């Protein structure tokens, strides 16, 4: 060993493997905004503290906030395609106590106190694609997916979304062919 403690090794592993980022308005990854090292170094486990989706979480089957067409698909695609990312709960981003700041270019700069969206975590667990951060959080004892299980039934199912998307594509193709 080179004199580093296990905690320092874990922090270095986290830094190398997990540089979470949020997505921009189109669902594409924006610049890195989550100060992972601050969370790990301070012992702050706020990133995984949520156990249930908020009342208007975009991942809810009922009562979800209305998003622009394709936005939820963009969020999911970004999380699945780049499993180093995260999706912060909007209630922790837009919050005086936990939220970060917006820079002059309109990019969000995280405070390090934000939490990952519980709906997104549940969706990714249902899909079998937890992010690198979720997997490392599990190993390091910062994240326990069993705490989310009571809310699994409230969150949209990946298979249903895939079916809806497929059906939308079929309807679109038929309309283009004049067979509505």
77 with 29: CB under 8 angstroms?
no
CA distance 34 to 40: 11
108 with 22: CB under 8 angstroms?
yes
- CA-nearest of 108, 80, 101, 85 to 29 is 85
Instruction: Write the DSSP symbol of residue 151.
Output: G
110 with 47: CB under 8 angstroms?
no
Burial of 126 (0-12, 13-18, 19+ CB in 10 A): middle
- Does residue 61 fall inside a structural domain? yes
CA distance 177 to 180: 8
CA distance 148 to 174: 40
pLDDT at 180 over 80: no
How much is the average pLDDT of 112-132?
A: 93
- Does residue 1 fall inside a structural domain? no
Number of structural domains the chain divides into: 1
Which is higher by pLDDT, 58 or 31? 58
- Does residue 81 fall inside a structural domain? yes
CA distance 174 to 172: 5
Instruction: Write the DSSP symbol of residue 55.
Output: T
pLDDT of the residue at 163 = 62
Q: For the chain, what percent of residues have pLDDT higher than 70?
A: 68
Residue 63's domain comprises 6-176
């Amino acid at each position: 060993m080179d004199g580093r403690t296990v905690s320092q090794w874990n922090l270095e592993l986290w830094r190398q493997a997990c540089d979470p980022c949020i997505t921009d308005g189109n669902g594409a990854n924006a610049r890195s905004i989550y100060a992972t090292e601050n969370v790990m170094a301070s012992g702050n486990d706020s990133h995984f503290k949520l156990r249930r989706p908020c009342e208007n979480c975009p991942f809810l089957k009922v009562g979800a906030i209305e998003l622009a067409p394709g936005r939820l698909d963009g969020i999911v695609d970004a999380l699945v395609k780049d499993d180093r990312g995260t999706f912060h709960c909007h209630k922790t981003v837009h919050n005086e106590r936990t939220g970060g700041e917006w820079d002059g270019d309109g990019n969000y700069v995280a405070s390090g106190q934000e939490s990952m969206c519980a709906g997104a975590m549940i969706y990714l667990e249902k899909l079998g694609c937890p992010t690198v951060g979720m997997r490392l959080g599990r190993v390091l004892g910062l994240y326990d997916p069993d705490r989310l299980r009571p809310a699994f039934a409230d969150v949209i199912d990946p298979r249903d979304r895939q079916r809806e998307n497929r059906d939308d594509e079929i309807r679109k193709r038929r309309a283009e062919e004049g067979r509505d």
